[in-house]
Amino acid sequence: MLRTSKYHPNLYVIASNTPALAEAAGRLAGLVNPDQRLARALAPIRDTFAFIIIDTPPNPGRLLTNALLAATHVLIPVETSYLGVVGLAGLHTTINEVRLEYGRADLEILGYLPTMYEEQRAEAGAILEQLKALYGNATLPPIHRSTDLAYAHAAQMDVFTYKPPKSRDDNHIESSSRATREYASLVEEVLRRTGYKAPSAGASRRMASGEMCP
């Protein structure tokens, strides 16, 4: 069910539902055109929202294929551990298959986002350098492991609500929280890479965020 965020009136959320997702994965196989169900469901509301964010695990399968076919861009979080990068090859294979089989050459990888980064861990530093070597400018600045993020999650808040910025100008946020600064920079970079232009004064657009649901 679509609901308005408690803290942001222009943000709408569909909460995740693990049992429903599992059921949907099983039911999709028996449907006509099963891989484009999500794209068809979102088509009538695409122009209502500035962004529709689909949060989905990278595991291959029809749920992931549905998400990719409904998307215009893919942002790939990569935990900075060796286990975190194991799934990249399989994810790339799925993305390339979707591009080829469905004529979606326009499906763009927006970037690779290193997460849970700890500078003191040699493994994390090595993986970050490896990502930069492989993907160049597509590798985004890392999101550091942070107690602010853990506490915000426990409080069911986004980091901007849990640790609000002290001030903001057009291109910069002041905050005592590194997590707030890093996610603010990520938002600005996503806007830049997607070429998003804010609506003119008086225009009203909304943002939706949610995990894929049946």
Do 141 and 152 sit in the same domain of this protein? Answer: no
Which has more pLDDT, 197 or 61?
A: 61
Q: What is the pTM of this model?
A: 0.85
CB 210 within 8 A of CB 20: no
Among 48-62, 90-104, 135-149, 192-206, which is the least confidently predicted range?
192-206
Answer with the one of 118, 145, 172 that is the final residue of a domain: 145
Distance of alpha carbon 52 from the chain centroid: 10
| Angle, CA 211 vertex, CA 209 and CA 115 arms, to 5° | 85
Percent with pLDDT over 70 in the chain: 89
Task: Specify whether 140 is located in the same domain as 58.
Answer: yes
105 lies in some domain: yes
| Residue 82 DSSP one-character state | H
Q: Are residues 57 and 140 in the same domain?
A: yes
Answer whether residue 186 is part of any domain. yes
61 in the same domain as 131: yes
Per-residue model confidence (pLDDT) at position 213: 39
Q: Are residues 139 and 160 in the same domain?
A: no
- pLDDT mean across residues, the chain: 86
64 and 114 inside one domain: yes
Residue 213 belongs to a domain = no
Residue 27 forms part of a structural domain: no
Question: Of 114, 145, 176, which residue sits at a domain end?
Answer: 145
Partners of 109 in beta bridges: 74
- The structure tokens listed for 64 are 């992931």
The boundaries of the domain holding residue 155 are 146-196
Residues 133 and 162 in one domain: no
The verdict on 155 and 185 lying in the same domain is yes
- Provide the number of structural domains found in the chain: 2
What's the pLDDT at 147? 94
Residue 96 domain-assigned? yes
pLDDT at 171 over 70: no
Same domain? 91 vs 126? yes
Assess whether 124 and 56 both reside in one domain: yes
pLDDT of residue 204: 47
Q: Kindly report, residue by residue over 63-108, the tens digit of the pLDDT.
A: 999 999 999 999 999 999 888 888 898 899 999 999 999 999 999 9
The DSSP secondary-structure symbol of 60 reads -
Task: Examine the fold and report which residue of 102, 124, 145 is the final residue of a domain before the chain moves on.
Answer: 145
Confirm whether 211 is domain-assigned.
no
Indicate whether 120 belongs to any domain. Answer: yes
The mean pLDDT value for 25-48 works out to: 89
- The confidence score (pLDDT) of residue 39 equals 95
What's the confidence (pLDDT) of residue 190?
A: 93
Query: β-strand 167-168 against 173-174: which pairing, if any?
Result: antiparallel
Does the residue 117 lie in any domain? Answer: yes
CATH no. for residue 139?
Answer: 3.40.50.300
Exposure on the CB side of residue 61, measured as CA atoms within 13 A: 13
Do 125 and 104 reside in the same domain of the chain? Answer: yes
Are residues 156 and 166 both part of a single domain?
A: yes
